[in-house]
Amino acid sequence: MQVKILSQSHIASLGLTMREIMDALIEGWKILAREKVELPAKIGIHPRPDCYVHAMPCYVPSLDAALIKWAAGYPSNFAKKLPYINGLIVVNDPETGLVEFIMDSAWVTAWRTGAATGVCAQLLAAEGASVAAVVGAGVQGTATGLALPAALPAALPALKTLKIYDLVPAQVDRFVEQVAPSAPRAELVRSPSVEACVAEADVVVTAVPILEKPQPVVRKSWLKSDVLCVSEDYDSGFDPEVMTSGLFVCDDRNQYLQTQSWGAYFQNYPRAEGLHADMSEICAGVKPSVKTGLRGAVLMGVAMHDVMTVELIKAKLKTNPVGQIAEI
Ligand SMILES: NC(=O)c1ccc[n+]([C@@H]2O[C@H](COP(=O)([O-])OP(=O)(O)OC[C@H]3O[C@@H](n4cnc5c(N)ncnc54)[C@H](O)[C@@H]3O)[C@@H](O)[C@H]2O)c1
């Protein structure tokens, strides 16, 4: 059987923009609100402490799109100079079930993770938000840096200052190098501490390693009272008080509550009754997008985002057929 293989550089060469992916994610969340998408909560195995390999399947009837992502997250890889996140996306033909594509998942994951935060900021950040902070300047943090100031129309049109903190200064240097060209209107500021980074910020995003026993890096007392806090790292970035003291949203209600019910993550984060909305309800206008006060968002990442990004890739392949055909 023949399949098409797409490497990370094949995908990167297609020239997808952050705005295209953000718009696709908004549409994906609207689809989730109006039709029955098969999107089971991701399940995983944990071969080493704090390490996971997740299985993330999804089928979207109106797009007739089916795939599964098999993605590993290994915080211990940083010291080995290996990527934290790696994996594959397998795309099936829904008619026959045959595998059509096997592709790298790292590019799709990073760009759709940054895009999801960008959409969240677009919908929930204060009008005129001018200061944003990113804690954890790795691959996901950098993609977030591309989404917040750069995507036009911008997620944060009034953004003047983007503050960055990472335990490893070289990571901040890499972030600045990659984000600066697409953020000409924002000053990129290297912060000396997490506290300095998040102080006075209208939007705070964390993208640090997910730990089974979290040691949150952002305390509520360091934050403005009017702030949007977005966690890309489950419950590892923000002290639970940040998420329980104000309005709380997540990317997908089912996935968040299922994961919480398994007893490891989100044990001190809001329960079902404390959940204002998930992003599909906000994108569809079913629940209001509140832009004042303390707002917390947990964006765990859902396979629906991968489907929407892969649909963009498939469309680009029609005019730019990169990739390699392989016999499997
Ligand atoms: N929400 C999603 O959709 C999604 C998708 C993929 C990955 N993730 C998660 O995002 C997080 C980051 O992943 P990545 O691919 O960017 O990894 P990465 O290794 O590229 O980056 C992690 C960064 O965090 C820094 N760091 C570690 N501890 C820190 C601390 N206490 N304070 C500040 N910085 C610290 C590291 O130096 C590193 O630069 C992980 O938790 C990962 O599981 C989330």
Ligand 1 in contact with 217 (CB < 6 A)? yes
Residue 136: is its pLDDT beyond 70? yes
* 96 pLDDT above the threshold of 70: yes
**Tens of pLDDT along 227-248?**
999 999 999 999 999 999 999 9
User: How sure is the predictor about 156, in pLDDT bands with cuts at 50, 70 and 90?
Assistant: confident
**pLDDT for res 10:** 98
The ranges of the chain annotated as CATH 3.30.1780.10 are 2-108+304-327
Ligand 1: atom nearest CA of 305 is 3
User: How many angstroms from the chain centroid is the CA of residue 188?
Assistant: 21
Q: Which residues are CB-contacts of 160 (< 8 A; sequence separation ≥ 6)? A: 130, 131, 185, 186, 187
Give this prediction's pTM.
Answer: 0.97
Confidence of residue 91 (pLDDT cuts 50, 70, 90): very high
The pLDDT of residue 184 is 86
- Decide whether any atom of ligand 1 lies within 6 Å of the 82 Cβ: no
Of 225, 186, 199, 204, give the one whose Cα is nearest residue 135: 204
Is the beta carbon of 84 within 6 A of some atom in ligand 1? yes
**CB of 72 closer than 6 A to ligand 1?**
no
Atom of ligand 1 nearest to the CA of 231: 1
For ligand 1, say whether the CB of 300 is within 6 Å of any of its atoms. Answer: yes
Q: Report the separation in Å between the CA atom of 174 and the middle of ligand 1, taken as the mean of its atom positions.
A: 14
Strand, coil or helix: 326: strand
pLDDT at 174 over 60: yes
10 Å CB burial of residue 177 (0-12, 13-18, 19+) is exposed
> Measured from the CB, is residue 139 less than 6 Å from ligand 1?
yes
Q: To test the ligand 1 pocket, which listed residue (69, 119, 208, 306) has its Cβ within 8 A of the most ligand atoms?
A: 208
Average per-residue pLDDT for the chain: 96
Question: CATH topology for 116-301?
Answer: Rossmann fold (3.40.50)
CA distance linking residue 40 with residue 255, whole number of Å = 7
Q: What are phi and psi of 55, to 5 degrees?
A: -105, 125
pLDDT in tens, 261-291: 999 999 999 999 999 999 999 999 999 999 9
Q: Where in the chain is the domain with CATH 3.40.50.720?
A: 116-301
Q: What is the residue with the minimal CA distance to atom 28 of ligand 1?
A: 208
Atom of ligand 1 nearest to the CA of 209: 41
Is residue 208 lining ligand 1, measured as CB closer than 6 Å? yes
Confidence at residue 155, expressed as pLDDT on a 0 to 100 scale: 79
Compute the distance from residue 321 Cα to the ligand 1 centre, in Å.
32
* Nearest CA residue ID for atom 38, ligand 1: 138
Question: Which CATH number does the domain 2-108+304-327 belong to among 3.40.50.150, 3.30.1780.10, 3.40.630.40, 1.10.3290.10?
Answer: 3.30.1780.10
| pLDDT at residue 129 in the model | 95
Q: Which residues, at least 6 apart from 93, have a Cβ–Cβ distance to it below 8 Å?
A: 66, 99, 100
**Peptide bond between residue 153 and the one before it cis (omega within 30 degrees of 0):** yes
